[in-house]
Structure 1
């Protein structure tokens, strides 16, 4: 009789080899990631997570103000989402047959469309960049025009199509030729009009609040852009991959501006509940009927794992929790409190330039100080590499105060806060107290913070 083969034991595998995590990444994945984490002192070992918190092996608690780049809208391991996934796995559904119509995609589409009643149909993919790729393809096909406009400093993803409308040069370098698209300055209606008059523009893709730097579109821009686009038979594509699902204190960020009704809308990140990748591209009846114009074109745009049962169940659970727990209202209320308390510090610290954003998407920008002593240190950092001071703030927030944040973009002196939407006043108190301590240290002119700054300067110079 043959010996029984042991099954896959995940717990045992992690217990035996989990300590190799950084070595495994160095050998087999992106070798620069562990190098970067080690340089910054971010090479932590987190053992578990729940809600807006992590814990390390010693039981130390870390506050998450990053939410996995916005994926963890409801925090980690939300019990309702977790149960939904257990339920859908236990149901043993006949998923992804590709020649039937399962109920879960239709139910999730119905629930999503209720929040954008002017839109009619949904395509489900797996990531934010896929949602943008879908919108670009649909806009080109529906209008019969080749060119997409986008805004400088935009971020819409890193696959070839979405990279073509990415406003950051560092992401685009070395990947040309890209699609024939054109950047305009955020809020520049004159530039938009000039491009539209050329007659070859399919649409404009725009983030209501740019993730890079946390810059909102100017008041009235989306509405006026929409009118100009429609006059020239072009489409407004709104990218809400990061700003959507309550992040800015409304269900979608475009809804802060009255009368805006995008033709195509991109959603992802938080819709996943932090478990199963999922994205959605919402559009009008006219656009979808144009793309899927006959039975011959039924698969003209599709995704192998699109609309899978686990992703659909996660999305339905997320939207249910958002409604029942009033997540959007909490994001607005808590975001206002956090932003107001941080803005009150601007006059107190000369290195602190501005606090901006909406809801729980907040940018903290640093700028050139006025005093001679601080100005000389600031100039040293800027000469080495713009963005080093913001990195100097992020590091002690983690090292000394156990709070995870991020610099908002390459060469930017901006920290971005996008915590889980479930945080409340205790988390606001903890962050503001820690941030104040870091600012006090920076303005004292000494201490470990500026010592670390010298380390970053050496690293920046070495990488040139």
Structure 2
């Protein structure tokens, strides 16, 4: 490069939205401007983001769960610097790397049951794609089951297992043989499995869209039913795994021993795309059953040194710095304190979650004064009320959050697992203030004005 990266970024500072509108997804630019999220961030550390004016923001989105360790964790940075300066051989392909073997060993050491093989890839969606192929080849069956409202990724095979139509519209025909069953419904699951023609049941132990938590008997019994009918039980832990829920795996809350565990997101500390499938020996042996089949499934950039080193460093941080234990302790306290707000506010119907995977569900009020305002928003756009929480939470309290799914009034927090008790207090105090304001009829008008104002600014900038 003729200029250093620092020089280039300094010279072009503030052009983020202009460049994206011109060369990338312009609709995303319009969305961010409309809801007032058009900040220019210049620095990130731990659970915090900093804008060009050095204002500090608490990041409860953490890159959709990628930054479980917070941003720019020094241990992972150091590992990546070693790779960059170490002149290591990489992606030789006609070779097997030591780093990938070490990371596989570390992952399997914290997996439940008798999982003893790992397949590496580049993302969560790619892990899902691989698991679909492995399940079909191992069982010699074609059908794949998933749950309604599930999210497993956006590549074509993974998309075929998604339970939300908004992601599928216009992209069909999708992968044949995929069917949905209601989440947390054992009778429906057994009915779908009874024909003994289902290769695998893919399930998020806790659903990401909405943070839906099953009853305590659902997942253990689902695993038993899969075994009964010869179906592989595949736990999609891409978002909920690696400490997110206060256990290494969300399935650990119910003592699950899946046939395959899918992981990604937090695995590299947020630095390098990486995914993995941990599986039982018989699955690996079935797919790669002869020397001439050693390359029947793979990925060019999987097992690259940067990804493997980041993964190894991230796993060490999770274990050695007791990050999972912090997620359990602070997360449990945060959920309890948010739940304590429910009696104060009729719009706050439920607070649920485990560890640092938290949802606040809002619902129709009983009082006449609020009913009209609620109805106005729901008529305009189902799920719009959530923006009366997320927008002021960001604008007035500098807390970045998200709506938990399309068309639902659920606000979702996915904090870095390293947030402190002080951060917890920041969140609770901000939510108390924001929800209190939501109970004022003027809040609906304020939201409308807010959206209209930002939309006009966005249009003026086009």
Same fold (TM over 0.5): yes
Q: Which whole-Å CA distance do the structure 2 matches of 1:281 and 1:72 have between them?
A: 20
Q: Which whole-Å CA distance do the structure 2 matches of 1:266 and 1:283 have between them?
A: 9
Which position in structure 2 is the counterpart of 1:101?
Answer: 96
Q: 2:361 aligns with which of 361, 365, 377?
A: 365
Q: Are the aligned partners of 1:149 and 1:204 in contact in 2 as well (CA < 8 Å)?
A: yes
Structure 2 residue 162 is matched with structure 1 residue 155: no
Which position in structure 2 is the counterpart of 1:30?
Answer: 25
Which position in structure 1 is the counterpart of 2:59?
Answer: 64
Q: Which whole-Å CA distance do the structure 2 matches of 1:191 and 1:394 have between them?
A: 36
Q: Which whole-Å CA distance do the structure 2 matches of 1:235 and 1:379 have between them?
A: 45
Please report how far the alpha carbon of residue 217 of structure 1 lies from its aligned counterpart in structure 2 after TM superposition.
2.1
Please report how far the alpha carbon of residue 455 of structure 1 lies from its aligned counterpart in structure 2 after TM superposition.
5.6
Give 1:62-461 correspondences, 5 Å limit: 62-117=57-112, 118-179=114-175, 180-258=177-255, 260-446=256-442, 450-453=445-448, 456=451
Q: Which whole-Å CA distance do the structure 2 matches of 1:168 and 1:185 have between them?
A: 12
Please report how far the alpha carbon of residue 174 of structure 1 lies from its aligned counterpart in structure 2 after TM superposition.
0.6
Q: Are the aligned partners of 2:34 and 2:452 in contact in 1 as well (CA < 8 Å)?
A: no
Q: Which whole-Å CA distance do the structure 1 matches of 2:260 and 2:401 have between them?
A: 31
Q: Which whole-Å CA distance do the structure 1 matches of 2:420 and 2:130 have between them?
A: 36
Please report how far the alpha carbon of residue 92 of structure 1 lies from its aligned counterpart in structure 2 after TM superposition.
1.1
CA change 1:459–1:183 in 2 (3 A) is: farther
Q: Are the aligned partners of 2:36 and 2:454 in contact in 1 as well (CA < 8 Å)?
A: no
Please report how far the alpha carbon of residue 459 of structure 1 lies from its aligned counterpart in structure 2 after TM superposition.
10
Q: Secondary structure at the match of 1:19?
A: coil
Q: Secondary structure at the match of 2:344?
A: coil
When normalised by structure 2's length, the TM-score is: 0.96
Q: Which whole-Å CA distance do the structure 2 matches of 1:456 and 1:377 have between them?
A: 16
Q: Give per-residue Cα distances to partners, 1:233-267, cap 9 Å, x unaligned.
A: 11000000000110001000001003x21001100
Q: Are the aligned partners of 1:85 and 1:313 in contact in 2 as well (CA < 8 Å)?
A: yes
Q: Are the aligned partners of 1:389 and 1:453 in contact in 2 as well (CA < 8 Å)?
A: no
Q: Which whole-Å CA distance do the structure 2 matches of 1:60 and 1:15 have between them?
A: 18
Q: Are the aligned partners of 2:35 and 2:454 in contact in 1 as well (CA < 8 Å)?
A: no
Q: Which whole-Å CA distance do the structure 1 matches of 2:185 and 2:30 have between them?
A: 40
Question: What is the total number of aligned residue pairs between the two structures?
Answer: 453
CA change 1:412–1:458 in 2 (3 A) is: farther
Q: Are the aligned partners of 2:61 and 2:401 in contact in 1 as well (CA < 8 Å)?
A: yes
Q: Which whole-Å CA distance do the structure 1 matches of 2:454 and 2:17 have between them?
A: 20
When normalised by structure 1's length, the TM-score is: 0.95
Q: Are the aligned partners of 2:386 and 2:411 in contact in 1 as well (CA < 8 Å)?
A: yes
Please report how far the alpha carbon of residue 51 of structure 1 lies from its aligned counterpart in structure 2 after TM superposition.
0.3
Which position in structure 2 is the counterpart of 1:3?
Answer: none
4+ runs deviating over 6 angstroms: 457-460
Q: Give per-residue Cα distances to partners, 1:82-122, cap 9 Å, x unaligned.
A: 00000111111110010111100000000000111520100
Give ranges in structure 2 of 5+ residues lacking alignment.
Answer: 456-462
Moved more, 161-170 or 212-221: 212-221
Q: Which whole-Å CA distance do the structure 2 matches of 1:455 and 1:67 have between them?
A: 25
Q: Which whole-Å CA distance do the structure 1 matches of 2:52 and 2:168 have between them?
A: 39
CA-based RMSD:
1.5
Please report how far the alpha carbon of residue 413 of structure 1 lies from its aligned counterpart in structure 2 after TM superposition.
0.2
Q: Which whole-Å CA distance do the structure 1 matches of 2:418 and 2:235 have between them?
A: 25
Please report how far the alpha carbon of residue 457 of structure 1 lies from its aligned counterpart in structure 2 after TM superposition.
8.8
Structure 2 residue 39 is matched with structure 1 residue 44: yes
Q: Give per-residue Cα distances to partners, 1:54-77, cap 9 Å, x unaligned.
A: 111111111111111000000000
Q: Which whole-Å CA distance do the structure 2 matches of 1:246 and 1:198 have between them?
A: 36
Q: Secondary structure at the match of 2:215?
A: coil
Q: Secondary structure at the match of 1:77?
A: coil
